[in-house]
Amino acid sequence: MQDLELQAVESALTDLVDGERRWATTTLEQRRDLLTRMRELTGAHAQEWVDTAVQIKGLDPNSPLVGEEWMSGPYVMAASLGVLADTLDHLAKGRSPLADVKFHDVRDRVAVNVLPTSVYDELLLSGFSAEVWLRRGVSRAAAKAEAGLAQLDPSRTAGIGVVLGAGNIMSIAPLDVLYELIAHNRVVVLKLNPITDPLLPVFSKVLAPLIEVGAVRIVTGGAEVGGALVQHDLVNHVHMTGSARTHDAIVWGVGDEAVERKRAGDPKLTKPVTSELGGVSPTIVIPGRWSNADLKFQAQHVATQRLHNGGYNCVASQALIISSDWDQKDRFLAEVRNAIAAAPERAAYYPGSDDRVASALESYPNAERLGPGGGRLLVDDVRPDSAEPILSGEYFSPVYGVVEIPGTGASFTAAAARTANEVFAGTLGVNIIAAPASVKELGAAFDDLVEDLHYGTIAINAWTGVGYLTPTASWGAYPGHTIDDVQSGIGVVHNAWLMDGIERTVVRGPFRPAPRSVIRGELALSPKPPWFVNNKTAATTGKRLTEFAADPRASRLPGIFASALRG
């Protein structure tokens, strides 16, 4: 590690020791105002943010794919800052952030309705909804009383936290900083992933109010800088986003050292660690009677779940679970092949991607090579076995598998839940695609499927990425993992209402886009979602959504609708 990098680490931590004292005396009203100012700054610097991300990822600046950078970057940051500011405003007035929220019972749990939360949500995300399931035993009264987490006693700070930033989705690092600071009341040093170092000027501008008050510092550097930070005596907590392998290297070491430490229960890193680590996300397709348009649209949906951001998403779908007895299976898989092949070309910007694709080809030499240059792999003969490479580890590249299991109706849904829980590595997210008629026909068996899936986010006729984009939803693995079997991580982030006792988030969307949704009886007016990889106006829609999130005004809605309808 360079001397300058070491000096930067020491300087950042020293500053935060003083900053923690100032943060402890910063009132809830002042904190609210800091977040409101940051939302304005996010809007002001959104174009620079997106331009930098486009450069990092080698995207064509004129491509609709730029919409991904708007929506998964400044859009979700601005939206989250708005909700967090409202949460602090509630707390400052002595009210629970959940005071006006709708609850309902789901099986033997309490669920909190987190989408839609306003008329704007109902208009912009017509037909989409989300709920957070609380853990068994958490009552409505307890949920209201405990919402606010560490901000219930803002003067009681919790030391210094380190956030090891992600290198794929450009809002992950600043959102994780917000959660450390607000949910846990820890001042934060953010270590950027080297891939995102070009965003340092933008992040410094957006986070300026927190930097000025002494609550946040940003450093850059490689693995040695990260190692020095997490082991530093002044650091009380570590949060990271990445892979389970990286987590274990930080917590346990590497090679023989890691083996011995795990055997002895003697971690190299002894301070508390929370994490979001991805996994092998399944998409379960429920057999039904679909029209040709349904088959094509849902194939594009699957292609998006795999290929959004080039496949470099912690919650990218890596394999279908599909019924071998579904009479439309072959037609659907043909549409999936077409959709994957036809998805827009982009650079393989994430380090090691080509090597991981090559590794998949070694494991599956008969894989179909699709798309420009044959760089996207489809493996259609994956056994439902945890020994399968495509199910046991995250490829983090455009590699997709198909797992066929027998059955229809309730027998299929029960088998699909077992396969997803027992065979696929990780518990971050799972997608379910099911026609409304199939959901109705399954009845309680469909509800059993949702309950039985042990995943942090479950998306029904939506992609789990919608959960990431919803500030009031939680984001993280299913609870119960430990540092010696970390799977998809420990703890949650986002959760802008600062709820405690979270089990999972469940997202629902329309099976069909408008106008077919209305014609077929769905109460949804949403056209093709702007996050679809083949959406023609995603860049314009994403930019307009970001402008709205940074400064919500009804006068912005017609422009958003006009762009979205052309997508």
DSSP structural state of residue 482: B
pLDDT digits (tens, 9 = 90+) for 369-379: 999 899 999 99
- What pLDDT band is residue 29 in, cutting at 50, 70 and 90? very high
Report the pLDDT value the prediction gives residue 3, as an integer from 0 to 100: 76
Q: 517-548: b or e for each residue (b if 16 or more CB lie within 10 Å)?
A: bbebebebbbbbbbbbbbbebbbbbbbbbbbb
Structure confidence by residue, pLDDT tens digits, 124-143: 999 999 999 999 999 999 99
What is the Cα–Cα distance from 533 to 245, expressed in whole angstroms?
Answer: 29
Q: How many angstroms separate the CA atoms of 128 and 461, rounded?
A: 9
90 pLDDT exceeds 70?
yes
> What is the gyration radius of the CA atoms in the chain, in angstroms?
23
245 and 285 co-located in one domain = no
- 350 pLDDT above the threshold of 70: yes
Report the predicted TM-score, pTM, of the whole model to 2 decimal places. Answer: 0.98
Domain for residue 557, yes or no?
A: yes
Q: What is the structure's pLDDT at 4?
A: 78
pLDDT at residue 296 is higher than 60 = yes
| Percent of all residues in the chain with a pLDDT value above 90, rounded to a whole number | 98
So what's the pLDDT on residue 474? 98
**The predicted structure's pLDDT at residue 379:** 98
Contact 172, 201 (CB under 8 A): no
- What one-letter code names the amino acid at 506? V
What CA–CA distance (Å, rounded) separates 381 from 311? 20
Within a domain: 110: no
pLDDT of residue 321: 98
Does 180 lie in the same domain as 70? no
Tell me, yes or no, whether 57 and 185 share the same domain: no
Residue 299 shares a structural domain with residue 382: yes
7: CATH = 3.40.605.10
Full domain range(s) for residue 402: 281-468+475-499
The secondary element (H helix, E strand) that includes residue 273 is strand 273-276
- 454: CATH: 3.40.309.10
Residue 534: the pLDDT is 97
Angle between helical axes of 557-565 and 538-550 (0-180°, round to 10):
160
User: Hey, what are 236's tokens?
Assistant: 């009380």
Mean pLDDT, residues 70-87: 98
- Report the SS3 class of residue 249: helix
- Is the peptide bond prior to 344 cis by the omega test (within 30 degrees of 0)? no
- Are both 258 and 220 inside the same structural domain? yes
- Same domain? For 336 and 441 the reply is yes
Read off the pLDDT of each residue in 271-295 and give the average, rounded to a whole number: 97
Tell whether 356 and 387 lie within a shared domain.
yes
**Domain's final residue, options 223, 242, 276:** 276
Which whole number is the average pLDDT over 114-129? Answer: 97
User: Pairing state of beta strands 429-433 and 399-405?
Assistant: unpaired
Residues 390 and 295 in one domain: yes
Number of domains in the chain: 3
Q: Are residues 387 and 296 part of one domain?
A: yes
Q: What b-and-e string marks burial along 162-173, b requiring 16 or more CB atoms within 10 Å of the CB?
A: bbbbbbbbbbbb
**pLDDT class for 329, splitting at 50, 70, 90?**
very high
Residue of 156, 211, 151, 205 lying closest to 183 (CA atoms): 151
Give me the percent of the chain exceeding a pLDDT of 70. 100
**pLDDT (average), residues 110-123:** 97
End-to-end Cα separation, the chain, in angstroms: 48
- If you average pLDDT over residues 226-247, what whole number do you get? 96
Last residue of a domain, one of 254, 276, 298: 276
Mean pLDDT of the chain: 97
pLDDT at 147: 98
Above 90 in pLDDT, residue 273? yes
Mean pLDDT of 330-355: 97
- pLDDT computed for residue 1 by the predictor: 53
- Distances in Å between the Cα of 563 and the Cα atoms of 150, 255, 530, 543, 566 are 41, 52, 9, 10, 5
Last residue of a domain, one of 276, 301, 326: 276
Q: Closest Cα to residue 367, out of 355, 357, 379?
A: 379
**Which structure tokens are listed for 101?**
């929220």
Beta bridge partners of 320: 283, 402
